[in-house]
Structure 1
Amino acid sequence: MKKQLRSHINECLDTKIFDAESLCIFSKNEIFISDSCKIDFQTIANDSENRNYLFAEVKEPYRTIFNYFSENYTTIQAKDSESRMFLKEISVDKTNSSFSIIKILETNNAILIHNCGLLVKSNISISEAFVFFSTACFSLYVKFLYEYLYHQNELKSYQNFVLNLVNSYKEKLNTYNRRPILESSAKISNSIIEVGEIIVEANLVDSFFGNISYKLNNDIHITKTGSFLNKLENKITICNNDNYHVCKKEASSELPAHTLIYEKNNVCCIVHGHPRFSVIVSMICDNINCSNADDCYTKCRNERNIGNTPIVSGEVGDGKFGLYKTVPEKISNETVIVYGHGVFATGKTNFNEAFNNLLNTELNCVDEYLRLIEKFE
């Protein structure tokens, strides 16, 4: 097996989501098919037209969630920002017919195959297919728990599953509250690398994605666009007034938001992750008849909070509805939740503060979710 293909396989297994015995990959005429593959992956790969494919079954809790959607849906549209950006929708195939699957892949990047697993395609690279796979897992997790709140009577058989899922997640998060996280480091890049690894370890991101920065004098040390937070060696760039427009091309797409946060607030570091319960709770609103419901993620008219943490709207980047217009103004209390997207958290003196603010915001949202279960029951 070629080194590049082995690297992709290891990358998948590092997520702890994939069932190792079911993994199949096709990339640049290299193919790996597991002995336990439940679909005719070879036939699908033969029809590739230079595409890249990734298929796998998933571990719990994702397996139960996948089964729920494959039994009850034909097409799945999620509201979180990662799904809107990467997937648009996830198709469901109940036949496990190669012909049917190939047909769906002409227009969709992700297919949930009933009682089999998830198949994703990318026209660019297997790395992008991996992003699509992990995004689908995150999106279905978020959508399932969101739906459970509003349909508890119909989904009563999932009650123990949901409560065990939420409480075990909360229990793991609390282990990070009981011990010091970061060693002090004189080198900024080392601190960014370290906090990135811990954010991924604590599952405070969608897959491995997010962004981190530190400001020293006029320099913003920030992670590069598309970087995995647990692999930040040589993935940090330094932006300032002299090179901003050049640096912007390789820096995180959230550089405009980070820049304005530093301008408007007395902080030295920022972490941005996609904690799942912060995303779920941000999309729950009592105004069910809102005429603006379809545009909440760009221009929500309602001022909402979880405890002292405001929820704002905004899209990735520096566009018309960019979150750089909403986040910097509202982050004075150290954290902000962006609707369907994630959390920005700051530290005034070090990354310990920023990480703990991110962590505690997510823990508050877990508690809010448990409260809402009782409220909507």
Structure 2
Amino acid sequence: MKRLCDKYAGKLVIQGLAAPNAPLIGGLDAELVWNREDPRTTELAKVFDALPINSLVFSRPAEPYATIVDFLAARHPETIRPKDTETRTFLHDIPIFENFSADSIIAGLRKRKSVIIPGHGIASFGTVSPEQGFVFYSSTIFSCFVLFFSEYLTKARHGALDKEYRRVFKDVVAQLPAPRTELPALPKGPYTDEDTVLAAMAEAGRQVVGYGLVDSFFGNISYKLGQVIYISQTGSSLDELEGCIDPCPMDGSATTGLTASSELTAHEDVYRQSEEAICILHGHPKFSVVMSMDCPRAECDNRGQCHIKCTECRTVEGIPIVPGEVGTGPTGLCNTLPPAMASSGAAIVHGHGLFTLGHTDFNDSFRRLLDIENRCRECYFETVGAYE
């Protein structure tokens, strides 16, 4: 358990979600252990006595996320309610408690996956592994980032910005890392055998996470070899795909799809409609998600259900934005994503993330993923600038 606590504390730092020596992760096995010594663990240990958990993640976010989280908590003193897919999937909403205490954390985590204590940090938990707490912590930061920038753009569009939001926005923007433009050297394709496919997928997944084009480690990746789609398993870590990739025959002649990504059906239909495509990358790059949620319409019958019912033909820099839920069904991505991908080679799903095709290998799809995210970032600031 100590090894897992150390591992996910390290991931928080590597991904820029927490400063070095900031994360506190406790794990309960035969005994309660922590990734490091800290006087606050005495108070945090009380959480294990009150909740059916086996791990707890607590940390002050790194900048600019700490500023974003504290600002939103001040604006929404009881509960933050982001509208992105990560929130709908994992968080629902994010409770706020003013005092750093076991009682506050327990009260928040009894109902939700994470709790924010302004000025102190974010607490989340796992019932099986510290990995769950890592995911919930990361998703909280991702959702707050998207909400902060989305709200700012909406307020700018409607002339509703106040001095405090402008000041904090300027401070946050000054702390954003510069966009990455260099590309990784991924294995060149096309790949002709299973071992090569698996190795190429694992490396592409590592780079997607390493470039910050995901939330925590989520997303999915696939490669079509003949009539078999190799796809990452549901819930797998894109930076640790070894042993977590399923070969799924397109004729449904195997049961491997049972553990495959929940978006397998969408991938299959993309390949059917884009016959020259051989690989797909799906990440959750932040500004692509922010821009997917931007809408100039003041009135709309589908307000609040944009992610499944939007009928507007919207694009960002020529990349289509489509609604759709994870999985199948009448509002599933399998209905909206394939035709959009066939026409443009990429598509952004409202509040969710970005999908890109490759026709030779993952170098193609990764280049598109990074380029579109950088274009969305530029578009965001150009749009904000037009209203300020």
TM-score of the alignment, normalized to the shorter chain, above 0.5: yes
Change (3 A) 1:320 1:27: farther
Matched, 1:302 2:312: yes
Find 1:136's aligned residue among 134, 140, 164.
Answer: 140
Q: How does 1:64-213 map to 2 (within 5 A)?
A: 64-73=67-76, 74-151=78-155, 153-154=161-162, 155-165=165-175, 168-170=177-179, 173-176=180-183, 181-184=185-188, 186=191, 187-213=196-222
- Residue equivalent to 1:361: 372
Find 1:341's aligned residue among 341, 352, 355.
Answer: 352
Find 1:230's aligned residue among 219, 233, 239.
Answer: 239
Q: Distance in 2 between matches of 1:320 and 1:144?
A: 31
Deviation at 1:320, TM superposition (A): 2.8
**Contact kept in structure 1, 2:64 and 2:172, CA below 8 Å:** no
Q: Distance in 1 between matches of 2:126 and 2:242?
A: 26
Helix, strand or coil for the counterpart of 2:115? strand
- Residue equivalent to 2:15: 15
Q: How does 1:302-341 map to 2 (within 5 A)?
A: 302-331=312-341, 332-341=343-352
- Listed as ranges, the gaps of 5+ residues in structure 1 are none
Find 1:274's aligned residue among 253, 278, 284.
Answer: 284
**Contact kept in structure 1, 2:44 and 2:101, CA below 8 Å:** no
Q: Deviations over 1:167-217 (max 9, x none)?
A: x342xx2233xxx63232651112111111111111111111111111111
**Contact kept in structure 1, 2:229 and 2:250, CA below 8 Å:** no
Change (3 A) 1:38 1:352: same
Deviation at 1:39, TM superposition (A): 8.3
Helix, strand or coil for the counterpart of 1:314? coil
Deviation at 1:262, TM superposition (A): 0.4
**Contact kept in structure 1, 2:187 and 2:361, CA below 8 Å:** no
Amino acid at match of 1:16: G
Q: Distance in 2 between matches of 1:13 and 1:23?
A: 8
- Residue equivalent to 1:42: 45
Q: Deviations over 1:217-245 (max 9, x none)?
A: 11111111111111111111111045556
- Residue equivalent to 2:24: 24
Amino acid at match of 1:137: I
Q: Distance in 2 between matches of 1:104 and 1:359?
A: 36
Q: Distance in 1 between matches of 2:137 and 2:169?
A: 26
Change (3 A) 1:79 1:245: farther
- Listed as ranges, the gaps of 5+ residues in structure 2 are none
**Contact kept in structure 1, 2:326 and 2:333, CA below 8 Å:** yes
Matched, 1:350 2:361: yes
Amino acid at match of 2:376: C
Q: Deviations over 1:261-285 (max 9, x none)?
A: 0000121111011110000000000
Change (3 A) 1:273 1:321: same
Q: Distance in 1 between matches of 2:52 and 2:67?
A: 33
Q: Distance in 2 between matches of 1:364 and 1:117?
A: 32
Q: Distance in 2 between matches of 1:204 and 1:123?
A: 27
Q: Distance in 1 between matches of 2:63 and 2:217?
A: 19
The percentage of counterpart residues that share the same residue type is 33
Change (3 A) 1:202 1:315: same
Q: Distance in 2 between matches of 1:241 and 1:175?
A: 35
**Contact kept in structure 1, 2:57 and 2:124, CA below 8 Å:** yes
Helix, strand or coil for the counterpart of 2:216? coil
Deviation at 1:161, TM superposition (A): 2.2
Amino acid at match of 2:68: I
Deviation at 1:61, TM superposition (A): 1.2
Q: How does 1:236-275 map to 2 (within 5 A)?
A: 236-241=245-250, 243=252, 246-265=255-274, 266-275=276-285
Q: Distance in 1 between matches of 2:153 and 2:141?
A: 19
Change (3 A) 1:126 1:244: farther
**Contact kept in structure 2, 1:56 and 1:118, CA below 8 Å:** yes
Q: Distance in 2 between matches of 1:34 and 1:280?
A: 38
Amino acid at match of 1:17: L
Q: Deviations over 1:126-161 (max 9, x none)?
A: 221211111001111111111222335321212432
Q: Deviations over 1:35-78 (max 9, x none)?
A: 26488212222223345321111111111112212322220111
**Contact kept in structure 2, 1:312 and 1:338, CA below 8 Å:** yes
Q: Distance in 1 between matches of 2:378 and 2:214?
A: 18
Judge which range, 133-142 or 48-57, deviates more. Answer: 48-57
User: TM-score, normalised to structure 1's length?
Assistant: 0.92
